[in-house]
Amino acid sequence: MKNLFRNYFSSLPWGMRLFMLIFVLSFPVAWVGLRTQLFDLYGWLALTPALVWKGQVWRVVSYAFLPIGPLDWLISLFWLATLVSVLGRNWSARGFWGYCLLGALAGGLFISLLKPGMPCGVAGEGAMIFALLAAWDWLYRNERLILLGIGEISVRQAAILITIINSLILFFCSGWFLMLAMWCGGLAGWLWLRIRAKLFLGKTPQQIRSERVARLEL
């Protein structure tokens, strides 16, 4: 198990290693702070719209690095580790961080703009996960994989299935409003990938996928 974790981290570029390390440590550190009453990461970093409008603007992205609880931390850690290992090869460290923060920002702004007086804090990495799922579908849509208990399916089908599962969890645990807010992360990611392909690369999504498949075949 130790070698598994070492091999996983060594295979990632440094920017992705830092991203995963922050998320791996976020809940244990927050839990220790609450148990010892020495500090409160949720009080400092959770998304509280009322405080955002008073100048604490970092909260519109920092909330995404704090899981709601231990179960959310474990499930999200699995999805993030899987998606980061696949997508890490497609971005520079700066590009990857920028993309993830864009997803978090979209979800945070949705909540802050529509419920500016909301006094309670919001945490959870759903917006970033939906953004990474959008990127996974965008880059690997037609590739095939084997999903335990289901069999061989396309990446697009897997991304849709995972999105549905995460959406249902959000809906029943946090309500429809937060579910829509987290969807905004995926939508922002999809829009950015489309704009980037069209304006900056001058290519259609189909051309980008065809070139990537050709490189893999070579």
DSSP conformation letters of 144-208 = EEEETTTEEEEHHHHHHHHHHHHHHHHHHHH-HHHHHHHHHHHHHHHHHHHHIIIIIS---HHHH
Q: Which amino acid is at 89?
A: R
CA distances from 47 to 162, 170, 175, 194, 218 (A): 25, 16, 16, 28, 46
Question: How far apart are the C-alpha atoms of 57 and 48, rounded to whole Å?
Answer: 10
Note the pLDDT of residue 199.
Answer: 77
Note the pLDDT of residue 216.
Answer: 34
Note the pLDDT of residue 198.
Answer: 80
Domains in the chain, start-ordered, CATH in brackets? 2-217 (1.20.1540.10)
CA distances from 32 to 5, 102, 129 (A): 23, 29, 25
Question: How far apart are the C-alpha atoms of 45 and 41, rounded to whole Å?
Answer: 6
Token code pair at residue 174: 């946090």
Note the pLDDT of residue 203.
Answer: 58
Question: How far apart are the C-alpha atoms of 145 and 83, rounded to whole Å?
Answer: 14
Note the pLDDT of residue 218.
Answer: 26
Note the pLDDT of residue 11.
Answer: 73
Q: Can you list the residues of the chain whose pLDDT is less than 50?
A: 210-211, 213-218
Note the pLDDT of residue 217.
Answer: 32
Question: How far apart are the C-alpha atoms of 188 and 99, rounded to whole Å?
Answer: 9
pLDDT tens per residue, range 21-46: 999 999 999 999 999 999 999 999 99
Note the pLDDT of residue 213.
Answer: 43
Q: What are phi and psi of 81, to 5 degrees?
A: -60, -40
Return the bridge partners of 47, or none.
122
